[in-house]
A and B are shown apart, each in its own frame.
Chain A
């Protein structure tokens, strides 16, 4: 199969999955709660006000009509509905909150890769030596520590006790926004104080998130590196007297890197999921905090919109990884019928 055909087929397969996600979240969001319109209108609302809301959000229609109307709006107008609590279109809300979350997730993602993969490789090379034990303990502790607790602890330590890092929020310096990503915008503004401020705000949340998601990467990298180091071609390379560095980098690492690559998609999904907790604790103005707030307010259009966007990102990140994977290892594309 050619690469372009493969990509097209995978993209086409996304559509039914996304549709299913929409149906599931609709069923959960709209069928179970007793009376969303009453919750939106507030406890002292008159019956007519509740009725107006019910009309506007088609709450009295059967579920399939609701899904159909929603779908029509999404596909035709790219419209995710209006949030009853903020009174703004959900699309605009998400657009405003998306960059903060994405920036945080990306920073944590690269931090996790930059720390996790080398740690896994070193761990494999120094197997059963102190370095190996150390990195395994780090990885396991990271995986075992609940995100909310490590966030709280780091906040306590680095803000309250040491006063080195800010505990909450994003950047406080006003700059012209081009992209919504503060780190990029401050560079575009050529404003290095703003960049420093944004970076300092980023450290704690990104480090917490990276520490949490790094463990899995360390484990996979270590395992795959150990396996490759025992492979015959590596032994041959060693036997013919190649320097250790060349054997490790050119023969072993190149092949060992494929399994960690495949979990990167899952990894990114975890990071995005983790942002819900993290943004609440660090008062980070992102989508996760928006979603958590919307759930409390029974703001169904916002919850459905958020879920759709996140599901889309997760599916796309998995797709990107699969494509990357098949570029590196062409056997994947051909072996569609592998048992």
Chain B
């Protein structure tokens, strides 16, 4: 195929030219498409900002997020308190800055437990098939049939309500989706000729799992992971809202919404801003996840290529 002259200096072409490992090249192309989607970039920026706040928010907070300051209670948003103050005179913005870490911790810990568990079980089910598959998938069905929030609540109540127990509870209800996803991929990959070739060479099941099945699952897992980050944050906030997660005075955002609930008429900012924070963060992860999904989809990739051409020809006409 002849490559138009205008393409020669584009980063995409340079990427295609380089002698990289096919997987590296694939991810490079994905990132290229991702970078050209405005919404995905916005989502990525929101997610990055959130991670930054989670890491350094406690240091950035202008006021102490925990200690009470009674004479300043119920201050509406103003220059000194941009998001107002709560029942104990604590600055809502400082609390939100300091509380971001709890949400991201919840997301990371839940996914760090649930994803490997689900991937392992799904991989085993898909690879071995037969009765092992049947048993694992029926157990997955059981967990999927549960009202997950209620299961998490029951678990959290049984262990004693705390943010950590809420995370354990959420991990227990979160893995089945990954098991299903990986099993589906494993079933598809198992039948491919390169797996057959590997088998004929005497490759072990573990080799096939780690060298062939898992790399093939990477992109769907990445998409689900990004979208799930938002879901886990919402779920953890919901548990905290109901009183089964973070306990006062921890400034977890869901807990802050619930604390402000009875003062809605007097001080709407107490509930509205932490909730808005959750919406923004979850939206960011959703946009990013959607963007990654789109950039991995070959059909949509072709579309970006098509829309990208006329823009380049116009630049070449000025040459």
Q: Footprint of B on A, CB under 8 Å? A: 16-18, 20-21, 24-25, 28-29, 32-33, 140-141, 143-149, 152-153, 156, 160, 269, 272-274, 276-277, 280, 291-292, 295-296, 298, 303, 306-307, 310-311, 314-315, 339
Cα–Cα, bound, A274→B149 (Å): 8
Question: By the criterion CB–CB under 8 Å, are A307 and B254 in contact?
Answer: no
Question: By the criterion CB–CB under 8 Å, are A28 and B155 in contact?
Answer: yes
Question: By the criterion CB–CB under 8 Å, are B254 and A146 in contact?
Answer: yes
Please give, as numbers and ranges, the residues of chain B lying within 8 Å of A311 by CB-CB distance: 145-147
Please give, as numbers and ranges, the residues of chain B lying within 8 Å of A160 by CB-CB distance: 264-265
Please give, as numbers and ranges, the residues of chain A lying within 8 Å of B278 by CB-CB distance: 146, 149
Question: By the criterion CB–CB under 8 Å, are B148 and A273 in contact?
Answer: yes
Cα–Cα, bound, A45→B150 (Å): 29
Shortest beta-carbon distance, A99 to chain B, in Å? 18
Cα–Cα, bound, A153→B269 (Å): 11
Question: By the criterion CB–CB under 8 Å, are A273 and B142 in contact?
Answer: no
Quick one: which of B144, B147, B258, B271 has the most chain A CB within 10 A? Answer: B147
Shortest beta-carbon distance, B161 to chain A, in Å? 10
Question: By the criterion CB–CB under 8 Å, are B286 and A17 in contact?
Answer: no
Shortest beta-carbon distance, B281 to chain A, in Å? 9
Given known A-B contacts A21-B142, A144-B283, A152-B271, A295 and B149 have beta carbons under 8 A apart: no
Q: Which of B109-117, B216-224, B230-238 lies at the binding interface?
A: B230-238
18 A-B residue pairings within 8 Å (CB atoms): A24-B143, A140-B290, A146-B254, A146-B275, A148-B241, A148-B257, A148-B258, A149-B278, A273-B150, A274-B149, A292-B153, A303-B150, A303-B154, A306-B150, A311-B147, A314-B146, A315-B145, A339-B188
Quick one: which of B149, B159, B261, B287 has the most chain A CB within 10 A? Answer: B149
Given known A-B contacts A32-B159, A152-B257, A339-B187, A143 and B286 have beta carbons under 8 A apart: yes
Q: Is B181 an interface residue (CB 8 A)?
A: no
Cα–Cα, bound, A303→B147 (Å): 11
Please give, as numbers and ranges, the residues of chain A lying within 8 Å of B234 by CB-CB distance: 144, 146
Please give, as numbers and ranges, the residues of chain B lying within 8 Å of A292 by CB-CB distance: 153, 242
Question: By the criterion CB–CB under 8 Å, are B264 and A144 in contact?
Answer: no
Shortest beta-carbon distance, A24 to chain B, in Å? 6
Please give, as numbers and ranges, the residues of chain B lying within 8 Å of A277 by CB-CB distance: 149, 238, 241-242
Please give, as numbers and ranges, the residues of chain B lying within 8 Å of A17 by CB-CB distance: 138, 141-142, 145
Quick one: which of B138, B242, B271, B287 contacts A280, CB cutoff 8 A?
B242
Cα–Cα, bound, A152→B262 (Å): 10
Question: By the criterion CB–CB under 8 Å, are B154 and A28 in contact?
Answer: yes
Chain B's interface: helix, strand, loop or mixed, by majority?
helix
Quick one: which of A144, A269, A295, A298 contacts B279, CB cutoff 8 A?
A144
Q: Is B68 an interface residue (CB 8 A)?
A: no
Q: Is B55 an interface residue (CB 8 A)?
A: no
Shortest beta-carbon distance, B51 to chain A, in Å? 17
Cα–Cα, bound, A21→B139 (Å): 9
Question: By the criterion CB–CB under 8 Å, are A140 and B287 in contact?
Answer: yes
Quick one: which of B143, B145, B191, B279 contacts A149, CB cutoff 8 A?
B279
Given known A-B contacts A140-B283, A146-B238, A149-B271, A28 and B158 have beta carbons under 8 A apart: yes
Closest to B231 in A: A143
Q: Footprint of A on B, CB under 8 Å? A: 138-139, 141-151, 153-155, 157-159, 187-188, 191, 230, 234, 237-238, 241-244, 254, 257-258, 261, 264-265, 268, 271-272, 275, 278-279, 282-283, 286-287, 290
Question: By the criterion CB–CB under 8 Å, are A156 and B142 in contact?
Answer: no
With A25-B151, A152-B264 given, name 8 new contacts (CB 8 A): A25-B146, A32-B158, A140-B286, A273-B149, A276-B153, A280-B242, A291-B147, A307-B150
Question: By the criterion CB–CB under 8 Å, are A141 and B147 in contact?
Answer: no
Closest to B287 in A: A140
Q: Which 4 A-B pairs have the closest CB atoms?
A: A149-B275, A20-B142, A32-B158, A144-B282
Cα–Cα, bound, A292→B278 (Å): 23
Cα–Cα, bound, A143→B244 (Å): 22
Cα–Cα, bound, A145→B230 (Å): 10
Shortest beta-carbon distance, A317 to chain B, in Å? 10
Cα–Cα, bound, A291→B244 (Å): 13
Question: By the criterion CB–CB under 8 Å, are B187 and A147 in contact?
Answer: no
Please give, as numbers and ranges, the residues of chain A lying within 8 Å of B153 by CB-CB distance: 276, 291-292, 295
Cα–Cα, bound, A311→B268 (Å): 37
Quick one: which of B146, B159, B244 has the most chain A CB within 10 A? Answer: B146
Question: By the criterion CB–CB under 8 Å, are B145 and A295 in contact?
Answer: no
Given known A-B contacts A152-B264, A339-B187, A314 and B147 have beta carbons under 8 A apart: yes
Question: By the criterion CB–CB under 8 Å, are A273 and B147 in contact?
Answer: yes
Shortest beta-carbon distance, A243 to chain B, in Å? 28
Quick one: which of A277, A295, A298 has the most chain B CB within 10 A? Answer: A295
Cα–Cα, bound, A296→B242 (Å): 10
Cα–Cα, bound, A36→B154 (Å): 13
Cα–Cα, bound, A272→B145 (Å): 11
Given known A-B contacts A149-B271, A152-B271, A314 and B149 have beta carbons under 8 A apart: no
Cα–Cα, bound, A28→B158 (Å): 8
Please give, as numbers and ranges, the residues of chain B lying within 8 Å of A339 by CB-CB distance: 187-188, 191
Question: By the criterion CB–CB under 8 Å, are B254 and A148 in contact?
Answer: yes
Please give, as numbers and ranges, the residues of chain B lying within 8 Å of A291 by CB-CB distance: 147, 150, 153
Question: By the criterion CB–CB under 8 Å, are A153 and B149 in contact?
Answer: no
